Amino acid sequence: MNEHPKSSALRPSACPGLLRIVQALDGGICRIKLTGGSISAAQAEAVADAAEHFAGGVIEATNRANLQIRGIGSEHAALIDSLMAAGLGPTSAAGDDVRNLMLSPGAGIDRQMLIDTRPLAEQILATLQSDERFHDLSAKFAVQLDGGEGLAMLEHPHDLWLSAAERHGERVFVFGLAGCLVDLPAGAVSLEQGHALVVAVLELFLELARPDQTRMRHLLAECSLERFLARLAERVPLMPIEGWQREATPSALHIGAHPQRDSGRVYIGAVPPLGRLNPAMLRGAAQLAREQGNGTLRFTPWQSLLVPGVHDNQAPHVIHSLEHLGLRCSADDALAHLIACTGSTGCSKGLADTKGDARQLAALLQRHGQTLNVHLSGCPRSCAAAHIAPGTLLAVSSGHYDLYFRDAAQPGFGALHARNLTIEAVATLLDARSRSPLDA
């Protein structure tokens, strides 16, 4: 008889998983890792049911295109069993932690893509789960696979990233270590060597890193990139790559209707307010996916969801239905551009009610006609954002924040602009700054 994945011992970690429910101020947290951010309508309904029956009904879209359920009570085993039965779990207990592979949300459907990354993603995920060597990787160790899509997150740092590119008329994977897609690549391999490259990088990392060096950046702080690449070239044929730069993408491709690769089809992007859905929202989106789309939903690193495969003449109806559920489908909606962590209502480290304050800020910005990308963080850990937002509000006490603006020359959140601001003061300052010709 096969061992049930959840019956195996799990290693200690502060990161929630499907099999490891971590306690927070508002109850347990279960994180469901989605292959390429994709989930079937039936699986989405299973998540909604689990959140309703075993938790407080709070479902969150994460910045790694996964889902998590908050406020879980004492029935951990029943919740896990329900999600495993829906096909949302790992093939082995130790394999859950290492399913940290992020794709572009438009994989396979994006009009700009160079290749469909989904087959390679399946191969990589199968290897990560089945090869016990890789179970020693940190639960935070992450890989990004990019097919050159227009809808792509370029700013999230990963331990290893691969991006499809053109080199002398040939399509290749350029790759980088401990960075993001806008960084200069470390080298390139043929498309056929993509899987071998991932395996070789992970093997070499585990061989060279000490136990306390859990991320690629920790290792490269002591082992030079040149030395790592020299060792890597002994395992995989590497090519030099010069002058390559990942093309920037429009910022609102995850909101509203956008044409797919298939003629006459669009995907609809919808933003749950501040990344949170209730069971009715998720069930409603799943029903639309089944009736109007291709039967799946895709979650994105912008904490939003896509309904792919919609006939273009049905787009207005789907948008209206999503908005009726409480999702935001307009790039002109101020709330669709704000990020906020759980805050003091659900996290003991939070110094302010970031979700409530974000809603207040959105209302004030909307009144001024402003849609600004702002991140509200209840503490310096920045759990809600994997990249540095153009503007960050760091809580210092209930209802008061320090304001930072992104600055490549400054570490952390960027340049400190003002201290101890109320939300009203923040809105006034942001409105004045956005209208200043000096910032145009």
Instruction: Give residue limits of the domains in the chain.
Output: 5-95, 114-147+155-233, 256-330, 336-435
User: Residue 142: is its pLDDT beyond 80?
Assistant: yes
* 8 A C-beta contact, residue 336 and residue 328: yes
Summarised one tens digit per residue, pLDDT across range 389-420 is 999 999 999 999 999 999 989 989 999 999 99
Look at residue 249 in the predicted model and tell me its pLDDT. Answer: 78
For 249-263, letters b (16+ CB in 10 Å) and e give: beebbbbbbbebeee
DSSP assignments along 105-136, one per residue: TTTTT-TT-SS--HHHHHHHHHHHHH-GGGGG
Q: pLDDT-derived band of residue 11, with 50, 70 and 90 as boundaries?
A: low
Q: Which CATH number fits domain 114-147+155-233: 3.20.20.60, 3.40.50.720, 3.90.550.10, 3.30.413.10?
A: 3.30.413.10
Q: Which strands, in side-by-side order, build the sheet including 58-61? A: 22-24, 27-32, 67-72, 58-61, 276-277
Q: How many angstroms separate the CA atoms of 335 and 327, rounded?
A: 10
Q: How many angstroms separate the CA atoms of 21 and 9, rounded?
A: 13
Q: Is 332 helix (H, G, I), strand (E, B) or coil?
A: coil
Taken in order 236, 232, 243, 113, is the CA torsion positive or negative? positive
Q: Do domains 256-330 and 336-435 have the same CATH topology?
A: no
* 8 A C-beta contact, residue 208 and residue 220: no
User: Residue 21: is its pLDDT beyond 90?
Assistant: yes
CATH number of 256-330: 3.30.70.3340
Summarised one tens digit per residue, pLDDT across range 162-215 is 999 998 889 999 999 999 999 999 999 999 999 999 999 999 999 999 999 999
Name the CATH architecture for the domain at 336-435: 2-Layer Sandwich (3.30)
Q: pLDDT-derived band of residue 10, with 50, 70 and 90 as boundaries?
A: low
User: Residue 6: is its pLDDT beyond 50?
Assistant: no
User: Residue 12: is its pLDDT beyond 70?
Assistant: no
* Angle 43-47-48 from CA coordinates, rounded to 5°: 115
**381 to each of 155, 180, 355, how far by Cα in Å?**
17, 19, 16
Q: pLDDT-derived band of residue 251, with 50, 70 and 90 as boundaries?
A: confident
Phi-psi sector, 179: left (phi>0), alpha (psi -120 to 50), beta: beta
Percent of the chain at pLDDT above 90? 90
**DSSP-derived secondary structure letter, 312:** G
Q: Which CATH number fits domain 5-95: 3.30.70, 3.40.390, 3.40.50, 3.90.350?
A: 3.30.70
Tokens, residue 311: 């006939």
* 8 A C-beta contact, residue 198 and residue 142: no
Q: pLDDT-derived band of residue 13, with 50, 70 and 90 as boundaries?
A: confident
Look at residue 346 in the predicted model and tell me its pLDDT. Answer: 93
Look at residue 94 in the predicted model and tell me its pLDDT. Answer: 87
Report yes or no on whether pTM surpasses 0.85.
yes
Summarised one tens digit per residue, pLDDT across range 84-110 is 999 999 998 889 999 999 999 999 999
* 8 A C-beta contact, residue 181 and residue 154: yes
Identify each DSSP E strand in 278-328 by its residue range: 296-299, 305-311
Q: How many angstroms separate the CA atoms of 372 and 369, rounded?
A: 10
For 349-386, letters b (16+ CB in 10 Å) and e give: bbbbbbbbbbbbbbebbeebebbbbbbbbbbeebebbb
Average pLDDT, the chain: 94
Q: Is 314 helix (H, G, I), strand (E, B) or coil?
A: helix
Q: How many angstroms separate the CA atoms of 416 and 184, rounded?
A: 28
Q: How many angstroms separate the CA atoms of 386 and 119, rounded?
A: 26
Interval 139-166 mean pLDDT: 96
- Burial class for 440, CB neighbours closer than 10 Å (0-12, 13-18, 19+): exposed
Helix (H) or strand (E) holding 394: strand 391-397
Summarised one tens digit per residue, pLDDT across range 356-378 is 999 999 999 999 999 999 999 99
Q: Is 34 helix (H, G, I), strand (E, B) or coil?
A: coil
Q: Is 204 helix (H, G, I), strand (E, B) or coil?
A: helix
User: Residue 3: is its pLDDT beyond 50?
Assistant: no
Look at residue 160 in the predicted model and tell me its pLDDT. Answer: 98
Q: pLDDT-derived band of residue 4, with 50, 70 and 90 as boundaries?
A: very low
Taken in order 285, 287, 291, 295, is the CA torsion positive or negative? positive
**347 to each of 18, 22, 27, how far by Cα in Å?**
20, 12, 10
